Amino acid sequence: MPNVDRLARYAVSGGLSALTHFTVGLAATGSGVPAVPASTAGFVASIAVSYLLQRAWVFRSTSGHTVTGPRFLTVTAAAFTLNTAVLWAGTSLLGAPFAVAQAVAILLIPALNYAINSRWTFA
């Protein structure tokens, strides 16, 4: 049975992280930065928000940063790769606007991140 309270906290923290990612990326594209580098800037900005909220509030981990930090960065690197692939395919191959391609990527990644972070990163 899933922990409903934890899922709700994850949804809030994920929303704040996604909002950071999307806002920074959208601002960058509005300034003329191409889609993938703009999304990269947004993704990097969202990492600190995500890690701190997930470690302290969502999973309430008591493991040290030396354990959770590298694990979180490993999961984040996989998520970054998936985000970049979806964004590139959406904008370059399918010709979708940045906002649409980024929204699709942001919807795909959280479920994967939750599964890995709850069972490995912050366990």
Instruction: Report pLDDT for 106.
Output: 80
Domain assignment of residue 34, given as a range: 4-121
Instruction: Report pLDDT for 101.
Output: 94
Alpha carbon of 41 to those of 5, 35, 88: distances in Å?
Answer: 31, 10, 15
Instruction: Report pLDDT for 108.
Output: 85
Measured CA to CA, the distance from residue 113 to residue 7 in angstroms comes to 12
User: What is the 3 state secondary structure string of 62-77?
Assistant: CCCHHHHHHHHHHHHH
Instruction: Report pLDDT for 1.
Output: 57
3-state secondary structure of 122: coil
13: CB partners within 8 A, 6+ apart: 49, 50, 53, 54, 57, 58
Name the amino acid, one letter, at 100.
V
Residue 93's Cβ-count burial label (10 Å; 0-12, 13-18, 19+) is exposed
pTM: 0.71
Residues of the chain with pLDDT under 50: none
* Number of domains comprising the chain: 1
User: What pLDDT, in 10s, does the model give residues 82-109?
Assistant: 989 999 999 999 999 999 998 998 888 8
